Every structure is written in structure tokens, then in C-alpha cells.
Structure 1
Amino acid sequence: MKNIKYIALTVICFVAITACDREEYLDIQPKNVIVPETLADFRLLLDNTALSFFDGGLVDGFQKTHTISQFFSDDIRLSPALAAAFFNQDTDIRAYLFDPTIYNASQDDTDFNAYYSQIYAANVILDGLESAEGSMSEKNVLEAEAKLHRAYAYFNLVNLYATHYNSATASSDLGVPIREGVALTGLDLIRASVQEVYDLVLSEIQFGIQILPDTQPQDLIFRPSKAAAYGLLAKVYLYQGHYEEALVAVNNALSLKNDLRDINTDETSFSDPSLRVVPFVLDNPQVVWYKTVGFFLQNAPTDALINLYEDGDVRRQWYADLRPNIADLDGVYYGARYFQGGASGLNTPELYLIQAEVNARLGNIQSANDALNTLRSNRFTPETYTPISITDQTELLQFVKEERRRESGGSIDRLFDIKRYNLLDNDNISVTHTFGDQTVTLPPNSQNFVLPIGLKYIQINPEIIQNPRD
């Protein structure tokens, strides 16, 4: 893999939102700073990555995604013993207990920070491209990449810190601030509506589709591609409930990138032969667009998740019994999928599952079954695999939802799925967490499924309205 140079950018951490004092920040004279000016500089900034031992992939820069949403889901469980063994932060525990205030006034929300850092970096690139010398074709590619990274950041922000997209109320529902330009003063950080954020995301994606290459080489999968743009477009339309548009987009994505890995061939752990190890990201043909949670995630799945796996499903081997290694843990399993590639961008299994879901919702029963069987034929031992053939539309859609959990158990997207299933399908999913002697439940459509915005940011920018809590 190529060594990728770092560019230090003075204001990469979106100081307009996180600095303790805006004017005070402007007095700082940073050292050893390279301000990007050339197309080569902008390329280096877009490729600002580093090799990580823990996930076998690329972290930092535009690759970093969020982690906190996993603690709101019904896929993982936490206890005092687990928290101590897995070095969970106090913010993780507060999130797990649905505390109205996850981050106190002195704490940074690292997920909020990461996405707005990426947005600001994209703005720097887009602003600088106007005056940079170079070919228009190269400028267009850099612009398309910056916009797709920005779209991904806004899409996740609006799903973390706002209610799920509802066509009837999206124009008035509070979304997230849209950070325009690179100025550090005179900023308007009033929250845009959910509709405005989605409109921006869709516009950015459509631009990328016109410009980007079909796919990227395996060693450059952190760069956006047309397949990634179509995949993200399908996901956005799915979340909006625009299923016909989502089907067109996901079919386009899969026409460009459709590799699946037979996980029967995955290596087993040297310390536990019963544990299947997810390949390093750069060796995983399923990755469409690489992003990562950025570090070694250790989680114990719930019994409800583990019980979804059928006999012969090799995905069950992504989880290992840790009781022989950690004292005082009862029935704990650890997800190996996070050890070598907690890829949280886009991958082909998710595309097949989107294809299955939208076909099921549209009544295309055979097409939905076909998409599921394409995926599942690579997930079971040969002697136990039987193709499914579900003819009832309601039963089929429920099966797709369960398959999403089986394929991506413990993922950062489960919270988003709960929100959309409850809103769009009236699934009435509640989440109950127990930690020590505390047991808390989020009822369906609770306002607390929406993350609170960090107090630190609201104190600095009082125009940012806090999310209501139950």
C-alpha cells in the first residue's frame, strides 16, 4: 500500500462549532501548517489516511464514522463487568442508559466532531478548487469526491441528531446545521430542516454520479466511486421511503460492483478455531466504499441477535465465547467482524439487502427472494444451505429485516433501522437495557431515539436548538 502523506490544516476541526472561544481561537498561530492550495494538496487532503492495526484498514480524515449509535440498539448488551473489560467510556454507558445528557459541558462529542471536521475539510477543498491551477477534469473529480464525502457526513448527522425522515413533516423538523464556506466569523449555525439536509445530500450525490469512475482499485477503496454514489443514493431513498427510486439506484450500484465473499473460506482465529475472522479491509472484495469506526470495538451481542442465526449459518462464527478469558462474564460473545474491518461505509451485502427490501416493499416477490438467496448462498455451509422461497409479502419483508440484523449485527445502522421501521412500518420496536441494578426502556418513537446535541456546542452557539427529551 502506498504511503500517504498527511496535510495539517489549521482549521480542520470545524472551530466554528467546537472551539471554546471563537475569537480566542483566531488568535492562535499554529506551527508547521500546510495550507492546501494546489490540486496535489487537495488530493492529499482527500486521501488523508493511515493504516490501523486494529481494523486492518484505513482511519482518520474522511474515513472516520460514528460509534455512539450502537449503544442505542437492541443488538448489544452492556454490564459493569463488560464495561470494565472492554474499557467503555462514561459516555458509552450514558448512551446505553438513554441518558438525556450523553456529553456534559466539558466533553466533546467525537462523532459530531468527526463529521463536521470532514464537512469543513470538504469546504476547504471546494473553495480552493476555484483558484487552483490544473485540468478541469481533475478538478471535477476532486470536487465530486469532496461532495460525496460531505453528503455521507450530513446523511449520518441528520439520522443521528434528528427524527427520521417523514415526508409530511420533514420541511419543519429540525435537522442539523449546514456549514457553508470556510469563514470563521459571521456564521449561521441555525439547524436546517430535515428536508433541506436531505435535499443537499441528494444534490451532492447526483453530482458525483456524473463525474466519478465506476469503481476504485482495491487499495484506493477509501475514495468514492460511481458504485458508491449509487449505493449511497439507494440508501438515502430507502430511508425516505422512495422505494422505486431506491430500486433503480441499487440496481445501478450492483451493476458496477457485486462481489460477494463466501465466508466459508474465511480464515479462523489462531486462538479460537471456532471463530471466523473477517478479512483485512484491503483484502475484502465486498467493500464498495471504505469508512470505519476507527478502532477496536468490543461488544457483547444480545441473546435476541444470537438467536436469529439458523443452524449452518457461518455468520454465527463471527462471535466467540469469551468466558474462558475474562472472569465474571456470563454468556458473553464478542463480534470478530469488528476486529479486522469494522467497515461502516458501503458494502455489497448491504446493497443486496437494500435490493431485497425495496423489491419486497414493491411486491416484487421473486426478485426479493433472489437477492436474499444470492447473499445467503455465501453465508451457510454447503450441506445446510436451502434457498428460501417466501411468497407472503409481509412475511418476506420481516425476513429481510431479520437478515439485515444477521448480516450486520451490532452495526451503527441498527438505530437508524429502528427509527425508520417504527415510523414507516409501525413496527413498535422498543429497546430495553439493563446495567447493574438499572433497567431503562425506550418505547417506540421515543424522542430519546434522537441523540442530544452536546452541551458544549450549544453553549458556544446558542442558536443551535437542543433536541427535546422524554
Structure 2
Amino acid sequence: MEKAPSKSTSIVPENIEQLEALLNQYKDFINEPSNELIFSTDDYGFVPDLFKASKTTYGTTEVIYGLWDTNLAAATTTGNYWPVEWKKIFTANLILQNLSKVKGSAEEKAEIEAECHFIRAYSYFQLVNIYCLPFTQETKSELGLPIKQTTVFTEDMQRVSLEQTYAFIESDLKHALMAKRPFLKTNGLNRSWRSSTAAVNSFAARYYLSLNDYNNAQKYAQKSLDEYSELRNYNTNMSFSVQPYKVTIFNPQATQVDLFFPYTHDQPTMAQDRFGFGETYYFRVMVNNDWKYWPSQELLALYDKAYDLRYKFHIVEDYSYDQGRATNPPYSYPGYIFFYRSDLPSGPSVSEMILTKAECQVRLGDFSGGILTVNQLRAARMSVGAPQNVINLSANSSAEALTKVLEERRREMPFVHRWLDIRRFNNNSDASDDVVVKRTFYPFNANTILGSETPINYTLEKNSRRYAFPLPNADIISSNGALKQNKY
């Protein structure tokens, strides 16, 4: 006990099964608790009247990240996303470092090696899209990330350029694409907690779309869909929880209200509940530990409330009575729910690939084909009782088709992809999809929201440097200056 444990004194893996066991610990990989992604976009609603009704509907975490306060975000000591993906990168590097030393066949080792390159590329992609500026010819020399390929403490912590960071991600991605592993099922569930050819192809589609490389994005999206393309039909395979959730409001007398959660809420800790949804190629979840996804009015307005079954099963009316405690007097505001109250699927999925393919078709000149593609998704999401001209989108021009496809993307994957989408929209050659995010909310400081003051306007301009969230000050200090903070 007199000798402190360290990376260098840990138990060294001896066989391939031990490395497989590390990769099978899916709980070590699936969670993405990024306040930066959850609160920062126009999908998340900042509603002054909701806060006025109940001070528990928003906290300082929401406003620091949702109103893009770089000084307070850098000083935050708990809950930032920065260390989460570095831990996954460390695990991938640990396995790569020991792979040649353990017993196992060359084929097994090649598969694990490819999977670790995939994990590392995926985590770097997450980090670069939160803590670095969007990649363009104008920004390519800006700060990227440290390149970590070992578990050694003394490895260089200096941030390389954005161009070098993306080259490193693409190199890992190409290595991962070399492996051929079918999209398997285990005990009736898609084995989406592990890598597969379909998983890597779907991530490649996401990667190239982020760079506005529509040819490659469409190519890899199609490869994924060719291997697996099953959608959950919301008409036949969705339901509400077994028991409505009951809350009491005072209006002024006590009145009981039932909240209806989608079936995925029933068993929040059961893997079967999540993997069983069946659409994900590689399972990841965005995690909001505050349990509050308040959809903005702009997002809510995109849904057909009569026929869109995503509104029926994911928009929970009166959610503010539960998580907002806005019950006396009552103030009703809906919340967005998918897996339990906290988790939204964020890994590459069938629906994402359909939307990626459709968008690329439109942007590359085949707007009629793009509309046909997106309607494959709508057939599984819209009520069969809707008129056909409601179920199926139509367009008379490429511009109209692009608007409709991007609106469908936002309806299908709110919160999860919006930050990445805004970044790429604002840096492509098409000005029609540019987004300036605007809020009206109360002033605040590090400790509290100043609800007694008049709400003010907040704006995230198109080319703002705040599209790169700050690194934690604590990590910059502990690096002895090796890590450099973003400039604002």
C-alpha cells in the first residue's frame, strides 16, 4: 500500500479476451453529457415566463452554456464535457498499446485495432466540434486538439492546428474503414454497442457531411443503408408507459394531471429498452442530467401536431408541472423525452443516414430524389390516418426541397445534431441555410439568474468565435501552459 497506483503500474492485459472485455463495457463509451451541445442551439427553449413561473426550470448551468458565456464556462469545475471523451481516447490508446503483446489471432487483433481507431476518431470528432472553430480554409491554422496516441503522461499536450486535427481524425477513420465486421445481433438486439462496418460507414457519412463534402457523405450513408435500413414504425411499434405519471397542480384547488411518457421511459437502466429501439448503428446517448429538454417555440412549430407521431410520443405536454415544479400557480410547458427523462439517442442511425442521403441528393442537384428519400422516413413517423399530401413531402425547386429536408432533419433529431448542423450551415457555399441564434432571457452571473431584472437579448452571430467553447481553466493550469485557451 505504500506505493501509489499509476498508469504504469496497472495490471497489463495478457490476452485478447481482456481487451474484448474493455470494449464490451458499453457504459464506459455510450454517454455524451455535453452541456455545450444540449443548451447552445435554437432547439433549446429559453422562456422567461417559464422561469418566472418556477425558478427551478433553469439553473446557472443552462444559461452559462445556452447563452455562450465563455468566461464562466471556462471557470466551471464540474459537469463540463472535456474529460469525458478523453477517457474514451485513453482506453482506445491503452488497447492499441497492448494489442501486439497479447495472445490472439491476427484476424482478431486486426478487428480490435480497427475498432480502437474508430473509437478514437469518434471521440476526437466530438471534441473538435465543441472546443474548436468550424474547419474551413480560413480557420485551418487555428487551434485544434492535442494529438494523444499513447497513455504516457509526458506525451505532448500542445494543441496542433485544426487542419492537423482533422487529418488525424480522417487517418483513424480510414484505418477503421479497412475492417469488415457485419452488423450483428446478440440475443435479438442489434450489437450497436460495438463497432461494425455499418457503424464506421455511418460515422464516415457524418464526418464528411460536417465538412460539406456531400459526395462522400452520400456514398457512406448509402453503404450503411445497404447493410441495414430498418426503421421503427411509430404507427405500430410505439406506445406510452404502462402507467401515466401523475402530478398535482393548484388552480387554485388541487387537481391531478396525467403525464404520458413514451414506452422507452419505463426501464431507464435496462439495455434492452435502448438497444431494442433498433435504429442505431453505433449506440451513444446525449445525457442531460437535469432531465429538462425544453423545446423552443421555433422547434415546436415545425411539428404537425395532428399527424406527426414524433410529436405525440416525444413531446410530453405539461412537463413543466413535473421537472419545472410550475404547479402553484400552474404554468404548462412541454418537454422532449426519448429514453427516460435524460437521454436522447445520438449515435449514427438509420434515420440520420436517410436524412443525410436526402440532403446530399438535394445539394448535388437531385432534389426530386432527395424528396423521395426523406419520404421513406416520414412513412414510419407520420400517422397512417394522415392525408397522403401530409405524409409525403413535395417540392417544386431545389431551394424548397432543401428547406423541407432540413426541417425534417430538425424534427427527427432535435438537440443532438443542431450544433453541428449550424456550424456547417454557416460555413458552406449556400447562404440560404445560415443560422443566427437569438435568445431573450434574464441577466445572470456565476451563482444565479437575475430574474427580478428585465430580460435582455443574446445573439450568437454566424462567424462568432464562441462556436468554439472554452477548455476548462483547470486543465490549462494543470498542463503548465502546454494547453492554450481559445481566443475570443
Is the TM-score greater than 0.5?
yes
Q: Name the SS for the 2:39 alignment partner.
A: helix
User: Pairwise mapping of residues 240-255 of structure 1 onto structure 2 (< 5 A)?
Assistant: 240-255=211-226
Q: Deviations over 1:386-412 (max 9, x none)?
A: 32221311111111111111001222x
2: CA distance, partners of 1:96 / 1:176 = 23
Which region of structure 1 is more displaced relative to structure 2, 328-337 or 352-361? Answer: 328-337
Q: CA offsets per residue over residues 199-231 of structure 1, 9 Å max, x none?
A: 222222222222141213225311011001111
Determine which of 42, 55, 67 is the counterpart of 2:34. 67
**Which residue of the partner structure matches residue 429 of structure 1?**
435
| CA distance in 1: counterparts of 2:263 and 2:52, whole angstroms | 25
Counterpart of 1:175 in structure 2 is 144
Q: Could you give the per-residue CA deviations for residues 28-48 of structure 1, whole angstroms, max 9, x where no partner exists?
A: 336996443421111111112
Q: Please name the residue that 2:278 is paired with.
A: 285
How many residues were matched structurally? Answer: 430
Contact 2:317 2:334 in 1 (8 A): yes
Structure 2 residue 31 is matched with structure 1 residue 29: no
CA–CA distance in 1 between the matches of 2:283 and 2:213? 25
Does the residue aligned with 2:335 lie in a helix, a strand or coil? Answer: strand
User: Residue 82 and residue 121 in structure 1: after superposition, are their counterparts in 2 closer, same or farther (change >3 A)?
Assistant: farther
CA distance in 2, matches of 1:220, 1:232: 16
| Matched letter for residue 174 of structure 2 | Q
Distance in 2 (CA, whole Å) between partners of 1:220 and 1:84 is 42
Q: 1:401 aligns with which of 403, 406, 409?
A: 406
Q: Partner residue of 1:351?
A: 353
Q: Structure 1 length normalisation: TM-score?
A: 0.85
1:463 to partner: Cα distance: 2.4
1:319 corresponds to which residue?
315
In structure 2, the CA distance between the partners of 1:319 and 1:106, relative to structure 1 (3 Å rule), is closer
Q: Which amino acid aligns with 2:131?
A: Y
**Deviation string for 1:348-373 (max 9, x for gaps)?**
11110000111110011222011110
What does residue 195 of structure 1 align with? 163
Cα distance, 1:277 vs structure 2: 3.8
Establish whether residue 299 from structure 1 lines up as the match of residue 293 from structure 2. Answer: yes
Question: Is the alpha carbon distance of 1:288 and 1:337 closer, same or farther for their aligned partners in structure 2, counting shifts above 3 Å?
Answer: same
How does the TM-score come out when normalised to structure 2?
0.82
Tell me the CA shift for residue 292 of structure 1. Answer: 1.8
Number of the residue aligned with 2:473: 455
In structure 2, relative to structure 1, the CA distance for the partners of 1:97 and 1:180 (3 Å cut) is: same
Structure 1 distance, partners of 2:180, 2:346, is 21
* Residues 354/104 of structure 1: CA separation in 2 closer, same or farther (3 Å cut): closer
Using the TM superposition, give the Cα deviation of residue 453 of structure 1 relative to its aligned residue in structure 2, in angstroms. 1.0
- Residue range with higher mean Cα deviation, 324-333 or 253-262: 324-333
Matches within 5 A, 1:55-454: 59=27, 61-68=28-35, 69-78=37-46, 80=51, 85=56, 90-103=60-73, 105=75, 107-108=77-78, 110-166=80-136, 168-185=137-154, 187-217=155-185, 218=189, 220-265=191-236, 266-269=238-241, 270-271=243-244, 272=258, 275-278=261-264, 280-294=273-287, 297-310=291-304, 311-317=306-312, 318-322=314-318, 323-325=320-322, 326-327=325-326, 330-339=331-340, 342-384=344-386, 385-386=388-389, 387-411=392-416, 413-424=417-428, 425-426=430-431, 427-433=433-439, 434-435=441-442, 436=451, 437-439=454-456, 440-454=458-472
Structure 2 residue identity aligned to 1:327: A
In percent, how many aligned pairs have the same letter? Answer: 26
Q: Distance in 2 between matches of 1:180 and 1:89?
A: 38
Residues 144 and 212 in structure 1, CA contact (< 8 A), matched pair in contact too: no
Counterpart-to-counterpart distance in 2, 1:35 and 1:332: 53
* Residue 300 to residue 338, structure 1, CA distance change in 2 (3 Å): farther
Provide, for residues 172-217 of structure 1, a one-character-per-residue CA deviation record: whole Å limited to 9, x for no partner. Answer: 12211111211112x3112122222222222222222221412132
Q: Which has the larger radius of gyration?
A: 2
d(CA) in 1 for partners of 2:118 and 2:75?
32
- Matched residues in 1 for 2:219 and 2:53: separation? 43
AA of the residue aligned to 2:283 = Y
Unaligned runs of 5+ in 1: 1-26, 50-58
Distance in 2 (CA, whole Å) between partners of 1:295 and 1:305 is: 18
- C-alpha distance 90-251 of structure 1, shift in aligned 2 (>3 A): same
Question: Residue by residue, what CA displacement relative to the aligned partner does 1:27-82 show, whole Å, maximum 9, x if unpaired?
Answer: 73369964434211111111123xxxxxxxxx3x1222242212111011246469
Letter matched to residue 293 of structure 2: N
Structure 2 CA distance for partners of 1:277 and 1:405, relative to 1, 3 Å: farther
Contact residue 132 and residue 467 of structure 2 kept, 8 A: no
What residue identity is the alignment partner of 1:258? S
CA distance in structure 1 between the partners assigned to 2:463 and 2:224 by the alignment = 32
SS of structure 2 residue aligned to 1:377? helix
Cα-Cα RMSD: 2.5
Change (3 A) 1:193 1:277: farther
| TM-fit CA distance, 1:244 | 1.0
Cα distance in 2 for residues equivalent to 1:83 and 1:48: 39
Q: Aligned partners of 2:411, 2:217: CA distance in 1, in Å? A: 22
Cα distance, 1:105 vs. partner?
4.5
Q: Is the contact made by 1:148 and 1:205 (CA closer than 8 Å) also made in structure 2? A: yes
| 2-structure distance, mates of 1:139, 1:110 | 34
